[in-house]
Amino acid sequence: MKKFYFALDTVLNYKEQVLENLQAEHAQIIAERVECERGIEALEQEQRECMVQMEEKKTFGISITDMQTYDRFLTSLRKKIERERERLAEILLREERKRGQVVEARKETASITKLKDKKRAQYDKEVQKADEQFIDEFVSNKRAVARA
């Protein structure tokens, strides 16, 4: 019997490549999100430390110019944190869209894979049936030769 052939193998290979590319892009977006979250955490930590320093200096007396400097710096940090949070929100949207694309690509790949498995099982049954038929014919011929 001829070798198993699945007509949609090239399509399946293409879909698997698309899925791998989407997964790589998704992983890259996740890494970008993690980096952004760490950046926000670092800025927030810097803000907390600056506020502690300012409070300590207030207890010992602080000049107006130093107070204004702290205030400007804290305002700058707040703006940076706000911008980073906006960037994080955009990254989260991109991540969600990419996750949806990965899910769709997985569904498409899985459906073709299931079809291939079904066709392979059907092919294997046909091969087994052909082998059994061959054995039956062989045994029948042996018996016929033995009787003659």
User: Is pLDDT at 143 greater than 90 in this prediction?
Assistant: no
Q: What is the pLDDT of residue 146?
A: 76
**What percentage of the chain carries pLDDT values higher than 70?**
99
The three-state (H, E, C) secondary structure of the chain, written as one string: CCCCCCCCHHHHHHHHHHHHHHHHHHHHHHHHHHHHHHHHHHHHHHHHHHHHHHHHHHHHCCCHHHHHHHHHHHHHHHHHHHHHHHHHHHHHHHHHHHHHHHHHHHHHHHHHHHHHHHHHHHHHHHHHHHHHHHHHHHHHHHHHHHHC
Q: State pTM to two decimals.
A: 0.76
Tell me the pLDDT band of 141, cut-offs 50, 70 and 90: confident
Tell me the pLDDT band of 1, cut-offs 50, 70 and 90: low
The mean pLDDT value of the chain amounts to: 93
Q: What is the pLDDT of residues 48-101, one digit of tens each?
A: 999 999 999 888 888 999 999 999 999 999 999 999 999 999 999 999 999 999
**What is the arithmetic mean of pLDDT over 2-28?**
94
User: Is pLDDT at 38 greater than 70 in this prediction?
Assistant: yes
Q: What is the pLDDT of residue 148?
A: 65
